[in-house]
Structure formats: structure tokens, C-alpha cells
Structure 1
């Protein structure tokens, strides 16, 4: 594989793995969302996000990286390029007895990610790799509604009761200390940008901060620190046990009987 294709694959893995893992975390809310309408809406969003992951995996397949099922189900955890924040279990790193307690964390994580995802898609409209540009355009029509969904939840909860705001602020603070890992393009970031595959990391970060902080300001909230990367950089293959456990569940059926899955 030529160097340029290798760098392209690194970006595609990031895009695919982010959607794949966060869609899985979202799917764990099936039957546990705050109300039945949200159960239906969230399930649809997770299905869309899994579809977005498939689109990126298909581009990797076309580049000779492997077939879609193998890329999603048979790779070792260290080969995944998703951000660590997105692999974390629902709830601030742990499952809590009351599922409604960690709904704030789910809303914050999905809202912050949806803003960055929109910015990345806008940047990919100008990507030098035409198939990636086309994929971004297709994904955008669905993501527009995802963004609206999470912004609505975010603004409603943080402006609701005193307890709701407290939980939202705790969730923001937790996500904030890890979110630079979501923005990161990893060790090949400079080459990715040199090939004009996506905008520079600093540009993505600044635009994300601008949009997120505008919403924060409207809700009378502010963060006094820059987003961090306290648990490591998933773009470089650094991950937690949460990812290992998630991948074991995700690949259980496929690993058990590949012939059955093909049917």
C-alpha cells in the first residue's frame, strides 16, 4: 500500500470506528431511554450511525484493507482508531443502578460529538478524495436531524431543574477533559492534512469550540479550560478495557458462526 493510501486509511478508520463504537454504546439504551418516543428516535439514530460506519468501512474495503465484516468484527482493540471517550461505558465510566442518572452523560457526549461530526462532514465536502467527499454528502442529510435531536435534549436538560443542570455540568466536565482525543487526527494528522483529506486539527478544534461555546453561553455556562486528552489518544491505538469488552460483544455472533451471519 502506498504511503498516501495508508494515510487515507488512517482517517477512514477514525471516521468509521467513531461511528461504529458510539452507535453500539447508544444501542445499549434500547428499552431504557427516558420515554418510549426517545427509545424509537435513539434506535433510529444508532442505526443511521452504524450505516455511516459501514460507508467508511466500504471505502476501506475498496482500498484493499479487507472486507467490511472483517474490518468491523475481527480487528484487535489496538488497531481501532476511535476516540477513547466514545468507547467509555454509559454513565461516567460505570453503569449506575438508575439508568436515568447517566442519561445526562449520554446527551452531553452525543451532543458534543454531533457538533464535531458536523464540522468534519463540512470539511470533507472539500476532501481531495472524491469517494470520501461523496460519502460525507450522503451522511449529512441524516446527521442534520441527529444534530437537532441532541441539541434539543442538551438545551432542555441544562435549562431544566437544579438537579438536571448539576448532572449536565458534571457530564460536560467529564467529557471536556477527554474531548481533545475526539478532535485529534493522531500521529498521522499532519500527513492527512497535507494530502487535503480533511481540515487541519486546529481549525476543527477552533470551529468546534466556537459552536459549542455559543450554545454554552446561551445556557449561562462556560468552561475555563481547554478540552483535554487525559486517558490517551485512541487515534494511536491507545484504548481502555471498555473497548475490549465492547468488541467482544459486537463480534460474538460473527465470531461464532460466520456462515450463519452471511445468510
Structure 2
């Protein structure tokens, strides 16, 4: 251990976490953010089943989506262990205002619906998935040192899969930016639409101070710095990033109508048989 480095007390069980109300509330907030991000992004990915640009991508995106939903399940089960509620109910029965995902991740893939004349934008999906996976990598690399050991253990497990996801979307971004003028313009359009949401994507919401104080995850300043460093490997970034002017801030429960649509669709099968295992 380096001189001056803080000794972080490890919390090994849910029982221990509950003994400190401030710690417990911050932990629950973080778990909901992580779970809800993975949950909604995997749903939007699943809407491409059978519609991806080619069959190899259809298989690849289906695999990535399945993995990501599995990651969401891990976090929801940690919340269940903390007696917040049943994992299935937390995933499917909470209203939009209760969700803590970044609102940018809930955006529809495009016009139409999966069963009725879908006209989806692949550039939106590539940009969103790339930004999401880059953010996820940065957060996970700090969470492996989290003071809550069960969460640190899950972060280590997820990090065995996540780099492959990021590499996939980094490759797609590079290919599109090096392709036709039309492809380049579509990607640039989606990037410009995404930049105002950056503060929400990397933000930690109302418990940001407590999350850093209790060593559950690195602070927002560090996350922002690392995220920019990662993004700069693939993109030229505008100077206006992290201006908090996004119309919806998901970490605070502010969402768009697109999330209502997603949750309604997601709940159809679950509500048909709520006793089934998710």
C-alpha cells in the first residue's frame, strides 16, 4: 500500500451494510443505477433481433444483449439480498419515475415498432452502445475496489465479458466513420445528439457524495476524466461536454415517454405469468 493511501473497510454482508443507514442508502442507489442501465440498454438491443444489418451481427448483438441482461439480473439480486424487494419485481414492476437509468439509454431505436414497420437507426445504436460500454468499463474498473465486497465480486465477473462488448462497438464505430459520406453523417448526427446527455450518462445522481465517501465507486470527477480518456481513443470530442442541459436526468427519476413505451413492452410477457422465473 502506498504511503498516504486510505484503508478502505470492506463490508462483506448485507447485514453489515444495513448497520450504517447512509452507506446502505448510497449502495441501494448505485445498484439501481447499474441494474437499470443494463436492463434498458439490453431491451433496446433485443429489438434488433432479426433486423440487424447482417446475420453475423444479429447473432453477435443477441449474445451481447443476453449477457447485459444477465448483468442486470446480478445487480437486482444484490438488491434482493438487501431486502429491497424480489429481483423480478424490481426489474419489471417499478414505474418510470422509480428507474435510475440514464435517460439517453431509453431512447427508441427509431420510428415504428418491432412488429409494425420498424425503421430503426443503426447509427443511433452503434453510438449509444459505444458510449454505454465505455461508461460501463470505467465504472466497473473502480467498482472492483468497492467497499461492498459482494458488488466488487460481481464487477470482477462482469469485467470478464464487458471488454469484448466494448471492442465490438468500437469496431463498428470505426468502420462507419471510415465508410461512406452518408454513414459518416449519420454517426456524426447521433454523436451530436448524444453529447448533451453526457452529464446524465456518467453522473451518480443524488447520492454522488455519499457514494464516493463510502468508497462504493469513484467520484464523478474521476469517472468523467477516465471516460473522456477512453472516448478520445476513438473520437474527437467537443468542448461542451458535461453541460447539464439534458431535458431528462434519469439518475433523478426524470425520464421520457420512450421509457414508458419500453416498460410497457417489457412487461407484457412478465404480466402474463408473474410466477414464472425471470
TM-score, normalised with respect to structure 1: 0.93
Which of 174, 192, 209 is equivalent to 1:190?
209
**Structure 1 gap segments, 5+ residues each:** none
Alignment deviations for residues 19-63 of structure 1 (CA, whole Å, 9 cap, x no partner): 000000000000110000000000000000000000000100000
Match of 1:254? 270
Let me know the Cα RMSD of the aligned residues: 1.7
Which of 69, 90, 97 is equivalent to 1:71?
90
Kindly tell me: are residues 19 and 262 of structure 1, through their superposed partners in 2, closer, same or farther at Cα, counting changes over 3 Å? closer
Match of 1:207? 226
Stretch deviating more after TM superposition (193-202 or 224-233): 224-233
Match of 2:4? none
Kindly state the Cα deviation for residue 109 of structure 1 after the two structures are TM-superposed: 0.6
Kindly state the Cα deviation for residue 95 of structure 1 after the two structures are TM-superposed: 4.7
Contact 1:61–1:68 (Cα < 8 Å) also in 2: yes
**Structure 2 gap segments, 5+ residues each:** 1-17
Matches of 2:105 and 2:243, distance apart in 1: 14
Kindly state the Cα deviation for residue 227 of structure 1 after the two structures are TM-superposed: 3.4
Matches of 1:113 and 1:227, distance apart in 2: 15
Kindly state the Cα deviation for residue 70 of structure 1 after the two structures are TM-superposed: 0.6
Alignment deviations for residues 161-188 of structure 1 (CA, whole Å, 9 cap, x no partner): 1111111100111111112111110011
Kindly state the Cα deviation for residue 7 of structure 1 after the two structures are TM-superposed: 1.2
Matches of 1:85 and 1:231, distance apart in 2: 10
Match of 2:242? 227
Matches of 2:119 and 2:234, distance apart in 1: 26
Kindly state the Cα deviation for residue 77 of structure 1 after the two structures are TM-superposed: 1.1
Pairs aligned (count)? 255
Runs of 4 or more, structure 1, over 6 Å off, are none
Matches of 1:119 and 1:126, distance apart in 2: 12
Matches of 1:222 and 1:139, distance apart in 2: 28
Matches of 1:139 and 1:228, distance apart in 2: 30
Which of 177, 180, 186 is equivalent to 1:158?
177
Stretch deviating more after TM superposition (124-133 or 171-180): 171-180
Matches of 1:208 and 1:157, distance apart in 2: 21
Match of 2:141? 122
Match of 2:37? 18
Kindly state the Cα deviation for residue 81 of structure 1 after the two structures are TM-superposed: 0.4
Matches of 1:104 and 1:167, distance apart in 2: 6
